Amino acid sequence: MDMFDQLSETGWKQKRGESSLSDVHGSVETRKGGPAWRRALAFAGPGYMVAVGYMDPGNWATSLAGGSKFGYTLLSVALLSNLMAIVLQSLCARLAIGSGRDLAQACRDAYPRYVSIPLWLLAEIAIIATDIAEVIGTAIGLQLLFGIPLAIGVLITSVDVLLVLYLQKIGFRWVEAFIITLLGVIALCFGIQIFLADPQWGGVIRGFLPSQEIVTNPEMLYIALGILGATVMPHNLYLHSGIVQTRKVGTSIGEKREALSFATLDSTVALCFALLINAAILILAAAAFHANGKTDVVELGDAHALLSPLLGLAIAPTLFGIALLCCGLNSTITATLAGQIIMEGFIRMKLQPWLRRLITRVLAIVPAAIVTIWYGDQGTANLLILTQVVLSLQLSFAVFPLVMFTADRAKMGALVSPRWLTAIAYFIAVCVAVLNIKLLYDFIMGF
Tell me whether residue 216 is in a domain: yes
Give the number of other CB atoms < 10 A from CB of residue 132. 27
Residues whose CB is less than 8 angstroms from the CB of residue 123 and which lie 6 or more positions away in sequence, other chains included: 104, 234, 235, 238, 342, 346, 394, 397, 398
Single-letter code of the amino acid located at 423: A
Whether residue 447 has pLDDT greater than 60: no
Tell me whether residue 435 is in a domain: no
Best CA proximity match to 59, nearest among 363, 267, 323, 316: 323
Mean pLDDT of 410-422: 94
Domain with 214, as residue range(s), is 20-396
Cα–Cα distance, 45 to 176 (Å, whole number)? 6
Residues whose CB is less than 8 angstroms from the CB of residue 64 and which lie 6 or more positions away in sequence, other chains included: 281, 282, 285, 289, 297, 298, 300, 303
Best CA proximity match to 95, nearest among 168, 165, 11: 11
Single-letter code of the amino acid located at 125: I
Tell me whether residue 439 is in a domain: no
- CATH, residue 101: 1.10.4160.10
* Residue 247 DSSP class: B
Tell me the CA distances in angstroms from 126 to 214, 261, 431, one per residue in order: 25, 29, 20
Cα–Cα distance, 386 to 58 (Å, whole number)? 9
* Residue 135 DSSP class: H
Tell me whether residue 436 is in a domain: no
Tell me whether residue 244 is in a domain: yes
pTM equals 0.86
pLDDT at 388: 67
Mean pLDDT of 25-36: 76
Single-letter code of the amino acid located at 11: G
Tell me whether residue 105 is in a domain: yes
Whether residue 446 has pLDDT greater than 90: no
Give the lowest-confidence range in 1-5, 141-145, 414-418.
1-5
Mean pLDDT of 70-92: 92
Average pLDDT of the chain to the nearest whole number: 82
Whether residue 111 has pLDDT greater than 90: yes
Residues whose CB is less than 8 angstroms from the CB of residue 387 and which lie 6 or more positions away in sequence, other chains included: 58, 129, 130, 132, 133
Q: Are 267 and 50 in contact (CB under 8 A)?
A: yes
**How many domains does the chain fold into?**
1
Tell me whether residue 312 is in a domain: yes
Mean pLDDT of 282-305: 79
Tell me whether residue 79 is in a domain: yes
Q: Looking at the DSSP assignment, which residues form a beta bridge with residue 28?
A: 247
Give the lowest-confidence range in 14-18, 337-341, 425-429.
14-18
